[in-house]
A = this chain, B = another copy of it.
Amino acid sequence: MQESSGELQLSPVTRRRAYQEVVAQIQREILAGRLRSGDRLPGERQLAERLGVSRASVREALRVLEALDLVRSRTGTGPDSGSIIVQQAGGGPSRDLEAGGSLGGVLLMHTALEHFALEEMVEARVALEALSVRRAATETTADHLEVLEDLVVAMEAPGVDPEPFMRLDTDYHLALAGACGNRVVAYVMRSLRSAIDHWMHRMFEHNENWSELRAEVAAEHRSILELVRVGDGDTAAYEVEAHVRKAHERLKA
């Protein structure tokens, strides 16, 4: 028998905390298919007993799962109370960025911390928007086109104020993402968009020439919609790229 020649790769033991074990176990159950969308988790007390941890650890784990948008908790004692596995990704309130942990909120925070530049966010958004209109041009349904049409008509009305216009603008871009038929692309795009919105809002407040700007943006939205409608994905992708970059430049000005 020989002693190790010093090539052992030992590293410090990092013990997972109790709440991390609880999160990991619930994630494993999801991966194994034993926990499914809409399933209700056992109550806090029951979970604590079965997992052999404190109720405080269970509660911390549930908060984390909520923040990750995997579990939704309702208080009370009715049939809807308790912790439910979410039934839809990104179903949380997308505009309430500060309420918790949407991906959009996380990207926003990393931008605020200067881990990301706003330009990098915009470029990533440009790439995904181009992809999504390209796909929307072949994949979209009459329902999606109708939603987009209604939004563009509302934006074309001369009297719209900045605040509701911004909301229509967001809805239009999210509807484009939805029209592409790829839920992952739509999810990531919605997140990028909501992170960028925070900065857009800031810049928007200081804008002059409102009616001119509104008319320009609405005309560009109209043009992209019509290209999607006739199935010209290449031109639509080109225009949406130019539109997003221009919007960003305009707001910086």
How distant is the Cα of A152 from the Cα of B30 in the complex, in angstroms?
35
How distant is the Cα of A109 from the Cα of B86 in the complex, in angstroms?
11
**Among B60, B97, B115, which residue has its beta carbon within 8 angstroms of that of A37?**
B115
Closest B residue to A110 by beta carbon equals B89
Q: Interface size bucket, A side?
A: 35 or more
Interface string of A119-138 (1 = CB under 8 A from B): 01101100110010000000
Least Cβ distance of A17 to chain B in Å?
9
Least Cβ distance of A238 to chain B in Å?
15
How distant is the Cα of A65 from the Cα of B61 in the complex, in angstroms?
12
**B31 and A120 contacting across the interface, CB-CB below 8 Å:** no
Task: Chain B residues near A68: list those with CB within 8 A.
Answer: 67-68, 101, 105-106, 109
Contact residues, A188-220 vs B (CB, 8 A):
188, 192, 198
Least Cβ distance of A199 to chain B in Å?
10
**A113 and B85 contacting across the interface, CB-CB below 8 Å:** yes
Copies in the complex: 2
How distant is the Cα of A86 from the Cα of B110 in the complex, in angstroms?
9
Closest B residue to A59 by beta carbon equals B60
Choose the segment among A18-26, A154-162, A225-233, A242-250 that binds chain B (4+ C-beta atoms closer than 8 Å).
Answer: A18-26
User: Does A144 belong to the interface (CB within 8 Å)?
Assistant: no
**B85 and A183 contacting across the interface, CB-CB below 8 Å:** no
Residues on A facing B (Cβ under 8 Å):
16, 19-20, 23-24, 27-28, 30-31, 33, 36-37, 56, 59-61, 63-64, 66-70, 85-89, 97-101, 103, 105-110, 112-117, 120-121, 123-124, 127-128, 131, 182-185, 187-188, 192, 198
Given contacts A101-B101, A116-B184, A123-B184, 6 further A-B contacts (CB under 8 A): A23-B100, A27-B105, A37-B114, A63-B63, A70-B110, A89-B115
